[in-house]
Amino acid sequence: MGIALVTGASAGLGLEFAWQLATAKHDLVLVARSEERLQRLAAQLEAAAGVRAEVLVADLADRDGTERVADRLRDATRPVGLLVNNAGLGLNQRFVGGDLAAEERALDLMVRTPLVLSHAAAGAMVERGRGAILNVASIAALLASGTYSAHKAWVRTFTEGLAVELRGTGVTATALCPGFVHTEFHERGSIDVASYPELAWLNAEDVVSTALADVRRGAVISTPSLRYRTVAAVARLAPRSAVRAVGRYRKALEHPDAQG
């Protein structure tokens, strides 16, 4: 089996990707900021699945950190066959009046990093004539939920364009567009999601298994669950004024003190 590189591997969807890929007998390169968590995960994966798990500590909102991971993707001696661009964060703030440095960090992590790592991976993979890139976007890409929607809209559109360019090379590109998923993501971002019904939530195991199945079949867009495929279809067909109205309602729920 080939090597898979997973960013944001220490928690959330990245952690689930690591376990499912290890179970499928892929050796792994695990990327995140916390060396302690990565080393613990690597030991668990190696013991449980009998695979090799390489640890690469990097802050992907930092250009030097991103470049170290890009160098690993270019390494022809230990080629990476699957790149999972999963690292991300949630900003619990409005853009106007918010912390600009935090916005720039989020932009670097969720836009610049997938661009740089996809470029490194695609170049190496095309040369070998095989490989796959999975970029984690979101159903928010079709909505109007602040800069997070803008970042994920970029990831989705970028991945579609990359898939077109890669056609016929033996390399594929897939954008994963889940909705709400039960992970640490919202808690770590201090985002209050108590107002969202249980029906809106997906299981991380199901999201990842769907994504990997879609990568294997060469799908360009992977939207786990029928309910979110329905949401995506409605969002694509609805007038943008209606989509913006949903965004205003969500912001009112998230920031009730700002209503008026």
How many angstroms separate the CA atoms of 100 and 59, rounded? 19
Q: Is 228 a catalytic residue?
A: no
Spatial CB neighbours of 185, under 8 Å, sequence gap ≥ 6: 12, 13, 88, 90
Q: Which of 148, 196, 228, 249 is catalytic?
A: 148
Strands (E), 61-185: 80-85, 131-136, 171-176, 180-181
Residue 178, phi then psi, degrees to nearest 5: -80, 170
Please report the sign of the dihedral spanned by the C-alpha atoms of residue 188, residue 227, residue 111, residue 35.
positive
User: Are 109 and 213 spatial neighbours (Cβ–Cβ below 8 Å)?
Assistant: no
CA-to-CA dists, residue 92 to 85, 145, 169, angstroms: 22, 11, 40
Catalytic residues: 148
